[in-house]
């Protein structure tokens, strides 16, 4: 199938971040794009509105009758029993799933796929931005909005196609990458991958897709990544803070400063080595050792693509981050509001650690919105260990996915165990309850971090209003 053959595309579930990115790409190519989704509001609504993309709220036979599309692309979140999808099948309209469509786009140039349990979004956006600054004019598909792109996609005319590669439902196996960045492998998505071994096998199958003349940029601080890399038949570029050919070496550190990685003037400054040879001092406007790793992956990959380190250094320093990744939403009455998408135990832990390094003397509130019943149940014991750097913790009701609405675990279970460990934890089920509570309790100097894959960001909006 050639996507260029279709002029009018209808997208079912168009508000999803990946679907919105595809809609932006097709819109930029001059195609007529129309979509449908639930009435629920997402940050992608603004992106679609800005692009002039018509969105039907609700799924209805009449939508397709009115639009008469040439091609249907659907989000896998709405694949089962969707009225519009059933009608499209009945009328023999060509149909692609989101991962199938992204896979076709990946074949249009030299695809670099960014994969791993953690860090995909930031690393994808950072690499795309750096390559754009270096003149490569890449096409980029990211799982969050990137203010410097004006959306969560960038449409370029260069040969590089940088995509965030989602392992869930084995979506990334539809991609055709020349190179892969593998940031981390830690068991997730237990609703689909029933065992940790199933999860690891998916990544093994993915890196086997790299051709012999391609490359794998792999974080060797992660032992599972190092082990999986043995299945690659291409060149391996290893990196890490403690292991790998490319390193940003850590020395003894205080809460505020490491000898080689330090916070200074709103930037993180770190030294990069290749082998034992210094490659210079680099800067990023992002915080946390996890973001130093993300930056190091970008430096190593851009170098592999033939760019000069001095040019990479300059480009990297200009990247401002993405929406919902340690995003400082604003300040009111001396209270700082930060929002983050982190919803896996490790993501929560490293984000709160970065917050503690940035705000060592401040009282930190973590407002956590658990995402999916299956993940919360499977990783409950890990979640309990993730909040050490928060002074106060509020847990909202679990945000179920489109595929699950109820489960065998409750947010109260998290709070109960946290309290037994001596944590200052509280269960408040809804966002309005949290906003009302915080409005009375927070004070000047406090830092409020909202965390989760759902709509917990509304807490920050409520406070700022």
> What's the CA gap between 447 and 465, in Å, rounded?
16
CA atoms 141, 22, 139, 267: torsion sign? negative
Residue 242 CB partners (closer than 8 Å, separation 6+): 221, 249, 250
> What's the CA gap between 121 and 42, in Å, rounded?
17
Residue 120 assigned ligand-binding role: yes
Residue 307 phi, psi (nearest 5): -90, 150
Q: Please state, in angstroms and as integers, the Cα–Cα distance from residue 211 to each residue in 115, 172, 216, 305, 462, following that order.
A: 17, 16, 10, 15, 49
> What's the CA gap between 325 and 174, in Å, rounded?
26
DSSP strands (E only) in 341-444 = 364-368, 392-395, 425-427
Residue 423 assigned ligand-binding role: no
pLDDT digits (tens, 9 = 90+) for 293-324: 999 999 999 999 999 999 999 999 999 988 88
pLDDT digits (tens, 9 = 90+) for 101-143: 999 999 999 999 999 999 999 999 999 999 999 999 999 999 8
> What's the CA gap between 210 and 29, in Å, rounded?
28
> What's the CA gap between 200 and 183, in Å, rounded?
13
Contact 290/281 with Cβ under 8 angstroms?
no
Nearest C-alpha neighbor of 9 from the set 64, 82, 57, 49:
64
Work out the average pLDDT over 355-360. Answer: 89
Residue 376 assigned ligand-binding role: no
Domain 3-98: CATH superfamily is NAD(P)-binding Rossmann-like Domain (3.40.50.720)
pLDDT digits (tens, 9 = 90+) for 189-220: 888 899 999 999 999 999 999 999 999 999 99
Nearest C-alpha neighbor of 342 from the set 299, 401, 387:
387
pLDDT at residue 369 in the model: 92
Whether 233 shows a pLDDT value over 80: the answer reads yes
Structure tokens at 2: 């050639």
pLDDT digits (tens, 9 = 90+) for 4-39: 999 999 999 999 999 999 999 999 999 999 999 999
Domain boundaries, the chain: 3-98, 109-317, 327-464
pLDDT at residue 98 in the model: 96
Residue 119 assigned ligand-binding role: yes
Reported as a pLDDT band with limits 50, 70 and 90, residue 257 is: very low
Contact 312/303 with Cβ under 8 angstroms?
yes
pLDDT at residue 401 in the model: 65
The DSSP bridge partners found for residue 340 are: 451
pLDDT at residue 357 in the model: 85
The residue with greater pLDDT, 409 or 292, is 292
Average per-residue pLDDT in the chain? 92
Residue 326, by phi and psi: left (phi above 0), alpha (psi -120 to 50) or beta? left
pTM confidence score: 0.81
Range name among 229-233, 381-385, 388-392, 433-437 with the lowest pLDDT average: 381-385
Give the CATH number of domain 109-317: 3.40.1190.10
Contact 91/160 with Cβ under 8 angstroms?
no
Under CATH, to which class is 327-464 assigned?
A: alpha beta
Does the fold of domain 327-464 match that of domain 3-98? no
DSSP strands (E only) in 241-363 = 246-247, 261-264, 267-274, 277-284, 327-332, 335-340
Residue 20 assigned ligand-binding role: no
Contact 352/449 with Cβ under 8 angstroms?
yes
Residue 117 assigned ligand-binding role: yes
The residue with greater pLDDT, 156 or 376, is 156
């Amino acid at each position: 199938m050639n996507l260029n053959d279709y002029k009018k595309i209808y997208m079912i579930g168009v508000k999803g971040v990946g679907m919105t990115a595809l809609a932006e790409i097709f819109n930029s190519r001059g195609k007529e794009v129309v979509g449908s989704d639930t009435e629920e509001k997402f940050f992608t609504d603004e992106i679609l509105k800005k692009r002039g993309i018509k969105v039907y709220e609700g799924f209805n036979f009449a939508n397709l009758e009115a639009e008469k599309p040439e091609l249907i692309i659907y989000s896998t979140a709405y694949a089962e029993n969707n009225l519009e999808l059933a009608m499209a099948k009945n009328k023999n309209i060509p149909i692609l799933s989101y991962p199938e469509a992204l896979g076709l786009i990946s074949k249009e140039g030299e695809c670099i796929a960014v994969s791993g349990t953690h860090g995909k979004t930031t690393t994808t956006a950072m690499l795309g931005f750096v390559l754009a600054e270096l003149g490569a004019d890449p096409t980029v598909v990211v799982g969050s909005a990137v203010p410097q792109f004006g959306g969560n996609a960038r449409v370029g005319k260069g040969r590089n196609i940088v995509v965030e590669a989602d392992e869930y439902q084995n979506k990334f196996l539809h991609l055709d990458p020349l190179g892969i960045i593998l940031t981390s492998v830690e068991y997730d998505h237990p609703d689909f991958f029933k065992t940790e071994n199933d999860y690891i096998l998916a990544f093994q199958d993915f890196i086997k897709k790299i051709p012999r003349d391609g490359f794998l940029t792999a974080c060797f601080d992660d032992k599972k990544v190092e082990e999986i890399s043995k299945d690659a038949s291409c060149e391996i570029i290893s990196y890490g803070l403690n292991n790998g050919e490319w390193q940003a070496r850590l020395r003894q550190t205080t809460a505020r400063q490491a000898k080689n990685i330090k916070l200074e003037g709103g930037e993180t400054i770190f030294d990069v080595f290749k082998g034992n040879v210094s490659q210079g001092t680099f800067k990023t406007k992002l915080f946390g050792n996890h973001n130093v790793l993300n930056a190091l992956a970008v430096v190593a990959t851009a170098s592999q693509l033939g760019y000069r380190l001095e040019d990479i250094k300059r480009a990297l320093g200009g990247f401002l981050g993405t929406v919902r990744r340690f995003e400082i939403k604003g300040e009111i009455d001396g209270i700082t509001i930060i929002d983050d998408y982190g919803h896996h135990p490790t993501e929560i832990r490293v984000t709160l650690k970065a917050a503690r390094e940035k705000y060592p003397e401040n009282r930190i509130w973590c407002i956590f919105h658990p995402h999916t019943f299956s993940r919360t149940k499977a990783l409950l014991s890990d979640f309990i260990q993730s909040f050490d750097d928060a002074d106060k913790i509020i847990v909202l009701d679990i945000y179920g996915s489109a595929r699950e609405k109820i489960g065998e675990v409750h947010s109260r279970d998290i709070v109960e165990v946290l309290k037994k460990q001596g944590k200052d934890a509280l269960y408040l089920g809804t966002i309005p309850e949290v906003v009302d509570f915080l409005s009375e309790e927070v004070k000047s100097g406090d830092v409020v971090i909202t965390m989760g894959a759902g709509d917990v960001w509304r807490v920050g909006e409520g406070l700022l209003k």
